[in-house]
Amino acid sequence: MLSGLIQQFERLANDLLAAAQQEDEAEIERIDARIQALIERLARLRARSRSDISAQIGFFRRLALRNCEDGSSVGRYTQTMMSLFDRYMDMNAGIRPPAAGLLHQPVADGYDPSVQELALDCLQERVAIIGLDYRYIYCNKRNADFHHKRPSDFIGRPLFEMIDMERFQTRAKPRLDQCFAGAYISYNYEVPDACGRMFEVNCRMTPLPGHDGSIIGAVLVLSMQSMFARAG
């Protein structure tokens, strides 16, 4: 069903482009209404397999990229992706942040490592989800590889253990606090990897809503560019 709906969307998108080229306003409105209804249906659909989950989230990622010059559309499609992450990671039942005061806990019951692969299937960037207590709820393999660790090493760990306390207090925490209050944050910084190679990083923080709509954390997406490659 999912693949059929995505193919239907692509056909409608081509029809919309043709109608726009012909400046047929009535046809544009008709097709656009069908497209919007189809997008809502794709967002509500509950996928039943890892491949369908990957395709569903990837669909909304492509929509965000296609509409990269429209901030409201990017925000809407990014929010849909985050809602899908929330749905499939089953945060309330499977990946609860540890109690305050505990520096480290083992992986929570119900944690599904396949979600890490799902994130890599959909996003090329480093991805992490940080709870309101500044501890990792989720880390994808690309982000773990950057630190020469496993994704499971991050779950329940405080962020400052991975980036050091000074960087946490001066750079990450103030921006996380803004994100927890509902702001969408984007900023750049430079950082070496575990081998000492320097990278320029763009960090985007998106508020993560829980099932009741309240913010339960922040999704961090980190895009990296080698400073050596840029210089060359």
Domains of the chain as residue ranges with CATH: 2-86 (no CATH), 99-231 (3.30.450.20)
Task: Determine if the pTM surpasses 0.75.
Answer: no
Percent of the chain's residues with pLDDT above 70: 75
User: Which residues, at least 6 apart from 87, have a Cβ–Cβ distance to it below 8 Å?
Assistant: 46
Q: Is the pLDDT of residue 161 over 70?
A: yes
Joined tokens for residue 92: 């309330």
Q: Is the pLDDT of residue 101 over 80?
A: no
Structural tokens at position 89:
């990671």
Q: What is the pLDDT of residue 97?
A: 38
How many other CB atoms are there within 10 angstroms of residue 141's CB atom? 16
To 10 degrees, what angle do helices 71-89 and 50-66 make?
A: 170
